A = this chain, B = another copy of it.
């Protein structure tokens, strides 16, 4: 039987053009299409549909929806995707990326990808409070696992992996305490964020456990921006709170804190110890480096893939992993 290459040579076009004649004939000029079709007929070429369908059925693909939130920074997204791909590949699987509208409007896309057997299951991330996806996928019997918890629900539908934000904040408080700080503030987000409440709780409990004050030392920022981090820091300093430590909910807020300290001639680390969250690429490029809590991306990805692709009986389907405190100049003792 003739090959694609032979057809291309016969019609004096590229292999791609023959492929287009078969799959996207509208892309070709009518005379080109006619010439290719004539060659296909003359050489009795048959595209090998069986070979093609084999490839999809033999390899499992895992769907991951690439987020599109213009006003949000995904500073560790490439780290997460790399870890997820590598973990999937270790089991012979691959990641299929797709886009979908946020919320319940995206559900038909998930459904369609699964119904067409393009993917065998999904990894969810960027979970929101009252995220509709988990309940919907569970109801449909479509396999999935979530990186991140759905907050403010008594039980979360389906399995999940997450990082212990409360433990992370507690680690940051303990570290600042051990480097001599006694008045440690917290920069957070609005109360509507479950993730923010989790991290705030860790700060509060650890301060109490160490006998440190918390009253008047917690500030909610309106959004995750440098400006808001700087504004909150200025408010704490202006109110005469005499802070010597700041645990920020994110690297972006922490950078805002560093900027405000610098602006006032205070030295981060030396005078006020500052920590962030996520260990984003920014933590390493600012001066002094930003002490931050790293999410164990490789472990997270490995757990997600293990749970999704059929964990052995007895493996818990809810996994809370510990972050790691990466110490840099912003918390160096004075």
Contact = CB atoms under 8 A, between A and B. Distances in A.
Contacts of A81: 66, 81, 97
Given A85-B97, A118-B55, A73 B282 contact: yes
A23 B92 CA distance: 11
A53 interface: yes
Interface residues of A, number: 77
A111 B23 contact: yes
A58 B22 CA distance: 11
Contacts of A26: 107, 136
B82 A99 contact: yes
A274 interface: no
Given A61-B96, A117-B52, A226-B286, A24 B73 contact: no
Contacts of A71: 284
A44 interface: no
Contacts of A20: 108, 310
A230 B52 CA distance: 55
Contacts of A284: 71
Given A23-B60, A27-B312, 7 more contacts: A49-B57, A59-B118, A73-B285, A81-B81, A89-B98, A96-B97, A262-B263
A17 interface: yes
A285 B66 contact: no
